[in-house]
Each structure stands twice: as structure tokens, then as C-alpha cells.
Amino acid sequence: MPVSPFEDRYKTEMNAIFDEENKLKLWLKVEVALAHAHAKLGHISKSSAASIEEGAKHVKLARVHDIEAEIHHDLMAMVRALTEKCKGQGHSVHLGATSYDIEDTAAALQLGEALSLIRTRIVSLRKVLRSLALDKANTVCVGRTHGQHAVPTTYGMKFALYYAELGRHLERLDAAKKRISVGKMSGATGTMATFGKDGFALQDEVMRSLGIEADTITNQVVQRDRHAECLFALALVASTLDKMAKEVRNLQRTEIAEISEPFSSKQVGSSTMPQKRNPHKSERICSLARIVRGNVSVALENISLEHERDLTNSANERVVFPDSFIACDYMLKEMHKIMAGLQFFPMQIERNLNLTRGLVLSERVMIALCEKGMGRQEAHELMRTAAMEAFRDRKSLSEVLLLHKEVAHLLKPIELQQLFDPHTYIGLAPEIVKRAVETE
């Protein structure tokens, strides 16, 4: 029975990339590539390489586990299981290689595949965000800074912002994939001593056949700055999803209630309060983002291995790689569902826009007074005191301003009335949205 929620509750297609069967498959793929490289360079016969390739098709994970239970070395257990299937050609298996020649090279293939899946998810989510941004480009709502009503903005601006940010993450993921897609075939301390004068040629041939690059220099392992970059790129993606989910949660608050994540007809919000519409999907994303970010610190610690290497990275990488990728993949899938089914409540959006009785347009009136000849600082102080008065006496800001002689002298009542229409104070928001989602 599963212990980790990443094995069932949060399971995605990413699990298949990190399961033991796929890891074994990738290890065997590297072993086969090594055998063929040896054969091409004349180190072993082509028939030996062919035997290893055929034997790799018949290695079973259960047998590898049985051998590992006896010898306590998972990679060597694979080597022995493969040797058993090679019909007298086992002497050519794993020739000259050290464990991490196989493991790190296989990890490059695995992490590259995982990054590709994350990339596909982001592209899909961005399509939904682009549609929302364009559809809501003119949906005016109150902007909030420091948790307080600021000036009007539009919902299109929110979605276009996320769209652009995720676009930058695609660039980071591509860069991380390029740097992680390297392998090694350089032996115990990276000197290629076991491969002799053919070391470079053999390493290049193995990597060519696997479709990745050979690392420039390694010791016993590919250096962990590459792996840390991958997890950091995931943490940035997770943090953007966290931000998006937090915005949904805040805007779904009872007192605000402008939008809501999807809520099905039979969904239960609380075990005791039947009325609840808890944003639990968004809350789950925020929760999992903490795990993804936390795993970055582990990856950073793994960079400073001792001398030519120690084993302090090995155990934790069995956790942080799959957990980070599965969590991030799950979060992206969930956010796609949330954004695709997002509910809007126009009456509440409009109510909140006018909640402060015009205070959110004090900046606009200040600018209008400046355009009529009043000094900027004088106009700011006039609007500040008027806003404080309106707030204190629970009056509309326009009502207070009509009693100010300085304002009446510069602005006609009809002009003042027009200034207090929030729908006409969104600047270039629609154009900004269009540029953000179409300029790529």
C-alpha cells in the first residue's frame, strides 16, 4: 500500500518517468550504448554488444531487487542481472565504467524527459491564460496594493501577467534542460583511465547514441550545480502557481467574492459547515509549492560533495527529484483545471469597485487638478485630506470635493462626475494585455 501521497493522491503521468521500472530501463539503455561504443572502437566484438542488447530486453526488476538484497548495491545488482542474460558474453558488460557513468547519464535522460513534460503542461496552461486575458481585457475591477483598494485595473491584466511569467519559465526550463542533458563515461575519478587513449571517442560515441552531450569534465559524478538548476527552475514555476492560487483564494473570500475556483454540484466544503465553498484546490497548490521550494535547499547542499565525490547526494536525490517533479506536474494540472473552470461574479466585482465611494479615483482627480493649473503637491494634499474626510464621515469623495472652493473653481460638476467613472480609468490596460499575450 502506498505511503507517499505522490504514489496515489497526487500521482500524474510524471510517476512513470521516475518509477523503478523506467530507471532500470534507462540504466540498461546506457549499458547497451556503452557496449556498442566499445564494439565500434574494437574493444569487444559486435556479437558481444548484440548479446548485451538482447539480454537487456529480458532483465527483470524483481531479479535486480533480489540481487541487491544480497550485495547491497543497486547498480551492481543491475550489472549482475544483465550479465546473467548475456549468454556467455557477460565479461563485456559494464566494461571500464563506474556506477555513476551509468546512473548520471541515465539521470540526464530521465530529467530531460521530465522537464519536457513540465514544459508541455506550461504551454497548455498558457493557452487558457491567454484566452482569459483577452476575454477579460476590459473587465474592470479594483486593484489592490498592500491589501488595500488602489486604482482600477482589469482582470485581463492579472491573467496576462501570469501568462508572461510562465513564458519566462519556459526559457528557464529550456536552459536547465540543455545543461542537465549531459552524461559521462569517464570512470572512477573522471580521468578515463580504464578506457585508455580511446576515452574521449568512447564517451562521445555513447552520448551521441543517447542523444545527449558529453560533459566537459567530471570527477566521479556529473556536478550537482546542473541538478540544482533543474530543481530551482521547478521552484520558480511552483512559486508562480502559488501566487496564482493565492490570488484565487483571496478573491474567493466571502467579503470579496469576485471569483471562485470550480465547485461541483456534489462537492463538500466542510464536514460540519454545509455552506462552505473552500478553495481547497488552490490551497493544495500553495501547500505543495512549499515542498518544491524546500527541495531546492537540498539540491544546493548536494553541490559541495567531498573530494572527487561522496554519497551524501544519493539518498536524498531518490526523494527530491521525483517529489519535486511530480508535485510540480500535479500543480500545473490542477491550475489548468482551476483556470479553465474559473467562475466570475460580475455584481461583486462591480460592488467592490465602488465600495470606497470613489476613493480609488483620488489619483485621477489629483492629476485632473494638476492639468487645470494646480501644483502637484498642493493637489496631492487637497485630495489626501478630502479622502480622509470622506472615509471618516462615510461620504462619497465627489460629495466632499463639491464643497471645496478650490475644486469648484477648476472643475465643473459634470467634469467631476466623469472623473468618478472607474470604467474609464484603466489607462492602456486592454492594449497592455494584447501586447503581453501576442508579442512573442
pLDDT of residue 265: 67
Q: How far, in Å, are 24, 204, 214, 319 from residue 182 at the CA level? A: 19, 11, 5, 21
What mean pLDDT do residues 182-198 have? 96
- Cell 479615483 locates to 361
Active-site residue list: 146, 270
Domains annotated for the chain, with CATH where assigned, are 1-95 (1.10.275.10), 99-257+278-351+428-440 (1.20.200.10), 359-419 (1.10.40.30)
Express each pLDDT in 3-27 by its tens digit: 899 999 999 999 999 999 999 999 9
3 state SS of 243:
helix
For 193-216, give one letter per residue: b (16+ CB within 10 A) or e.
ebbeebbeebbebbbebbebebbe
pLDDT digits (tens, 9 = 90+) for 128-149: 999 999 999 999 999 999 999 9
- Taking only the tens place, the pLDDT of each residue in 262-289 is 877 677 766 677 777 888 999 999 999 9
CB atoms inside a 10 Å sphere around CB 46 = 13
DSSP code for 140: E
Q: Has residue 427 got a pLDDT over 80?
A: yes
Burial environment of residue 258 by CB neighbours within 10 A (0 to 12, 13 to 18, 19 or more):
buried
Q: Tell me the average pLDDT across 420-425.
A: 96
The predicted pLDDT at position 221 comes to 96
Cβ–Cβ < 8 Å for 93, 86: yes
Number of neighbouring beta carbons within 10 Å of residue 88: 7
H or E element in which residue 438 lies: helix 429-438
